[in-house]
Amino acid sequence: MYAITIREPGDPDVLEWTEIADPRPGPGEVLLDVAASAVNRADLLQRQGHYPPPPGASETIGLECSGTIAELGADVEGWNIGDEVCALLAGGGYAQKVVVPAGQLLPVPGEVDLIAAAGLPEVACTVWANVVMHAKLTEGEVLLVHGGAGGIGTHAIQVGKALGATVVVTAGSAERLESCRQLGADLTINYKEEDFVEVLRKETGGADVILDNMGASYLGRNVDALKSDGRLVIIGMQGGVKGELNVGAMLGKRAEVFAAGLRFRPLDQKAAIVADVRERLWPLVSEGAVKPIVGQVIPMSEAASAHRAMEEGSVFGKILLTATS
């Protein structure tokens, strides 16, 4: 099969479409013929040498994919050869074939086509695990989503609205903010021109839940933006890894700060998240209340151009990579 390999850590040009050995499924695993994968910011970090895969995971980039089941490993139940699925991966998505633990498979939902489904597993599991399962966002609460125009952000807007929350987003241009409003965002903030803490306090009194991809640089301001009993969930480090936390402010608000990745969770935790997504989120996707937002589709062999597009921040929603020969 062909897959994207990394010649050496570096810029997008180090990505190469290369022939490698086919993977084989072990017990509890399935082999997929990949239709498409999707680009996530973690992929850029791995390409640069900053985010190696978990022990035992594929060295190939790619945290999600869609495709057709080609082979079942021992002890796999509930799936059949030929089933169209999408999958949460610890690695291996930028390839024509990939092995997946059966507990990380999801059926392609509703009217979603097989290619578009490749952009669902990572964002769906990330948003659902953090905003719903952990932070327990409920109807009537205020959800603040940083980076509303990206893959995570566009999905979180829709999930928040489907659950009856007031959704506030930050983004860096009028065009991207308008696209967020068209997805359902109730309040949009241009972080280059406005202080999101001041705007949020004025318009909503603060946030009950904040989904943050920035990390250190937003830490203090995010705590300031929380309401009493607010929950800050950090899922990224685009703004650095070390920040100062005002414990006094947290105590006064009874606030919670929670940081969690998805890739390094144990298999049983991932399977539990996937099962909850299938039970509670997939019906919303099937009925069209939550949709995959696809900004660009590029052949997998041209993954370097997809990485450049993500680095430029020019795409609204997900960038998909279609598997090619």
Residue 93 is encoded by which pair of tokens?
A: 């998505």
pLDDT in tens, 36-89: 999 999 999 999 999 999 999 999 999 999 999 999 999 999 999 999 999 999
Q: Give, as one character, the DSSP assignment of residue 134.
A: I
Query: What is the average pLDDT score of the chain?
Result: 96
Q: Is the dihedral of CA 226, 166, 233, 312 positive or negative?
A: negative
Q: Spell out the residues 6+ positions from residue 35 whose beta carbon is closer than 8 angstroms to its own.
A: 65, 66, 67, 68, 114, 115, 118, 322, 323
In sequence order, the β-bridge partners of residue 315 are none
pLDDT exceeds cutoff 90 at 314: no
Check: CB of residue 318 under 8 Å from CB of residue 294.
yes
At 269 the pLDDT is 97
Instruction: Give the predicted TM-score (pTM) of the model.
Output: 0.96
**Average pLDDT of the segment spanning 126-142:** 98
- Tokens read off for 3: 């897959």
HSE, side-chain direction, 13 A CA sphere, residue 206: 16
Q: At what angle do helices 174-183 and 151-162 cross, to 10 degrees?
A: 40
CA-nearest of 87, 79, 213 to 146 is 213
Confidence band, pLDDT 50/70/90 cuts, at residue 325: low
Burial class (CB within 10 angstroms; exposed 0-12, middle 13-18, buried 19+) of 19: exposed
CATH of domain 2-120+292-322: 3.90.180.10
Alpha-carbon span 115 to 192, nearest angstrom: 34
Question: Given this model, what pLDDT does residue 228 score?
Answer: 97
Domain 124-259 classification at class level: alpha beta
The per-residue pLDDT for 324 is 76
What local confidence, expressed as pLDDT, does residue 141 receive? 98
Can you give the pLDDT at residue 239?
A: 86
**pLDDT over 80 at 240, yes or no:** yes
The structural domains of the chain, with segments of one domain joined by +, span 2-120+292-322, 124-259
3-state class (DSSP) for residue 77: coil
Tens of pLDDT, residues 186-196: 999 999 999 99
Alpha carbon separation from 208 to 133, 135, 142, 242 (Å, rounded)? 15, 9, 5, 24
Looking at residue 113, what is its pLDDT? 96
Query: What angle is formed at CA 279 by the lines to CA 273 and CA 285, rounded to 5 degrees?
Result: 100
Percentage, residues of the chain above pLDDT 70: 100
Closest CA to 88 of 78, 103, 75: 103
Beta strands in the chain (DSSP E): 2-6, 15-19, 29-38, 64-72, 84-88, 97-101, 105-107, 142-145, 166-171, 187-190, 207-212, 226-234, 256-259, 294-299, 318-322
Model confidence at 253: pLDDT above 70: yes
The H or E element spanning position 224 is helix 219-225
Tell me, what DSSP letter sits at residue 86? Answer: E
pLDDT digits (tens, 9 = 90+) for 213-234: 998 899 999 999 999 999 999 9
* Residue 286 pLDDT greater than 70, yes or no: yes
H or E element at residue 127? helix 121-127
Q: What pLDDT score does 35 carry?
A: 98
Q: 189: which 2 tokens?
A: 């903030």
Question: Is 124-259 in the same CATH topology as 2-120+292-322?
Answer: no
Q: Which residues of 196-225 are buried (b: 16+ CB within 10 A; e: fewer)?
A: bbebbeeebebbbbbbbbbbbebbebbbbb
CB 290 within 8 A of CB 117: no
pLDDT, tens only, 136-183: 999 999 999 999 999 999 999 999 999 999 999 999 999 999 999 999
